Structures are given as structure tokens and as C-alpha cells.
Structure 1
Amino acid sequence: MGSIVAAPQEEVLGHVAVACFVTHCGWNSTLEAIGAGKPVVAFPQWGDQVTDAKFLEEVFRVGVRMEVERCLREVTVGPRAEEMKENAARWKREAEAAVKAGGSSERNVREFVEEVKKRSVRRKTETATL
């Protein structure tokens, strides 16, 4: 099974296998993308990120901004819109069932607490026999 490890962003961006950088456009990420010579797919969230994205696309001409309108159309009226709505409704029902009394969330918490109690008793027993 894989694991999540820290990796220096500059080294990752510099790797030949990296075709572009999908970024929120924070200033450091903007500089690192330019320094690595990688095209950018900009996904700014707030503050200076929006300005940075505009510069990357319109001034430096090294990237594009994500198309929010296209995404909204895709999930509301696109060919998979109905499937996504049905899936979202199904997961909503699953989530509601999980948090109801006797639902899987309650059962899982109860099982977790019981396991912690067992381990605690086992540890106390092991410590007492030393």
C-alpha cells in the first residue's frame, strides 16, 4: 500500500514526468511554477491568488484558469448530470442512515470504545503481572 510522504515542490515540478501544475496560485506556487518552466492550470480561491492567476494567464501567458461555468453546466445539465444527482441523493440517504440512532456511525463508535476498553484492560493486566 502506498504512503503519503513530504516532497519538495520544486523537485516535483522539475521532474520530466510533470506536464503542468494545477495550483491555487499562491505567490510561492506561482514563482515555483515559473521557475520550473511548467504551464499552469489555475484554480485561485481568494485574495492575491485571483490576481496571480490573471497574470499567469493573461500577462505571462503560461496557463489557463479553470472553467467554472463549464463545470457548473456539466453537473447541472450535462450528459452525466442526472447520474450525478442520483448518486448525490443516494449518498445523502446513506449518510442520514449512518447518523441515525442505531446507524453505522453509532455502531462503529461503540465498537471503537469497546476495543479501547479491551486494550486498556489488557495493558493493565500486563503491567500488573510485571
Structure 2
Amino acid sequence: MASAGTPLTDKAVQFAPTMPIMSPSDFVWHRIKIPSLQKLLFHIMTENNTPTQSADWLISNSVHDLEPGAFALAPQILPIGPLLATNRPEISAGGHFLQQDYECLEWLDRQPPCSVIYVAFGSSGMLKTAHVEELALGLELTNRPFLWVVRPEAIDGAGDWDGFLERVAGRGRIIGWAPQQRVLDHPSTACFISHCGWNSTLESVSSGVPMLCWPYFADQFINQSYVCDIWKVGLRLEEDGKGIVASEEINRKIDRLLGDGAFRESVLRLKGKVWSSAREGGQSHENLRKFIDWIKK
């Protein structure tokens, strides 16, 4: 690795059998396409290594069974996850970037069980106009109900948006922001098209919802590898020769994800491990108790 973080080889690496095989092009800093920011992030990460190694403990919003190889390499990191928002109304409205649309939950109540495609790309992700248009066409091709979170600025420049809304009015709902954990927990939700941010990934696994992965920067490509290659609870959405995820690819992958019961079975098994770890006596629960006892000393 060069001093600026530029990979000297394209040879893939795997740090442990239960960790993804990673191409150097997927390293967190390298996925940021602006060279000056690549170098800055690389140096921030390397400079953080010394204080990280000198810490007695670090806590992580993860679960040991999700990343056993990583935690074996860094025993000072205590996974205490999943750290998820509570469903209590007096708390669930706080800590969000945008106003949540709780009416979408009533809409979900009217949909058949395990039928709805949930689509969300986080608070900062931006899809190119061509991607937005292909995604809309792909959702239309599925002929399935869908709930799509679209921040207003994310649809600027899209083509015949009004025509699309008319064609899917009976089965599609588009909102500005969702109470995501409650959407993923809803029995009508069938799958999650996601950018694979870690919080979204952990929420999806914790809810037992398989994923279609559409990462765009930073750690999201490594998270995608966990989802698709290690846990086997989702599929990649592949770009075509023009760098576009085509509508046909979206439709095909949704059919495969929802038509193969193995994905649902795998994610439900993983969900069980996650919540077993969080319960009293589980590893995350014990790690948190260990950390609290250490603070009290």
C-alpha cells in the first residue's frame, strides 16, 4: 500500500475465513473517488490505529456471530449490538434527519404478508438520474407493492416521474423518510433494496429481511460482501456495461430473492442468533455488562 493509500496490487485479500474476500478497490478510503479525500481518509484511519490499540476497550454496534473473524483479530472490541431504536412512540420520533412518515405503516397494514419491496438509500446517498429512472422502471416491472423512500432532491431531473406515479398508484407508495426499523419489522415487508450502510444492514438482519445490495461508497461494499458472500442473505445488483443497474436486472434479482426460500431461511436463522446474543446471558448482553462493570471500577 502506497503512503497515500493507493493499492500497489489488485490481489484480493481475506483476513479470516469468516470475513469477506476483499479487493483492494473495495477498501473504505479507495471507494471515495476524489483522490484528495482518499488520501485524507486513509491518513485519518491509519492515525487512529495508535489510540485505538492503546484503548482498554472499544464497543461496537455489532454482534459476534455476524463478524467472528473480525472480532478474533481485534479482541479489545466488544460487540454489544444490535443497538436499535425503541418502538415507544415518545422516543421513536427523535434522532432522525428528516420528518418520518408514520402513515406508511397504515399503508403496510393493508398489504399482504411478505409482499412489499422496501427501498431506501440512507440520509446522504444520491442516485444519478439514470439510476432513478431504471429503478422506477424495475419496480414497475415487478408488479409487486413497494414502499420507496425518496428524498426530494434525489429525484431532480428524473424523466416522466408523474407518469410513473400514475402507473403504479395502486400498488406503490413514495415517501420522504420512513420509520425504517418499524417498516423492516412489519410482516408485509418482503425485502430491502439498500445502499448497505451498516445501520441499515444490521436493522435488516435483525428484522429477518433479505436484501438487494446497491452500495455506492466507503464500507458499504464490504457490508455487501457480508450480506451476499458470508451470510448469504441477499444478492448484488450488478451494473451493466454503461455503469447502470438496469430495470431488467432489478426485476430479475427481486424475483430470484423472493422466489428462493433459502434467503428467507438464512436471514431468519441469523435473526435468531442476533437476538439470542442480545438477550440476558447472550454474548452482546454479557459484553455490555462487562463494559459497565469496568467503568464502575
> Structure 1 length normalisation: TM-score?
0.50
The answer to which structure has the higher helix fraction is: 1
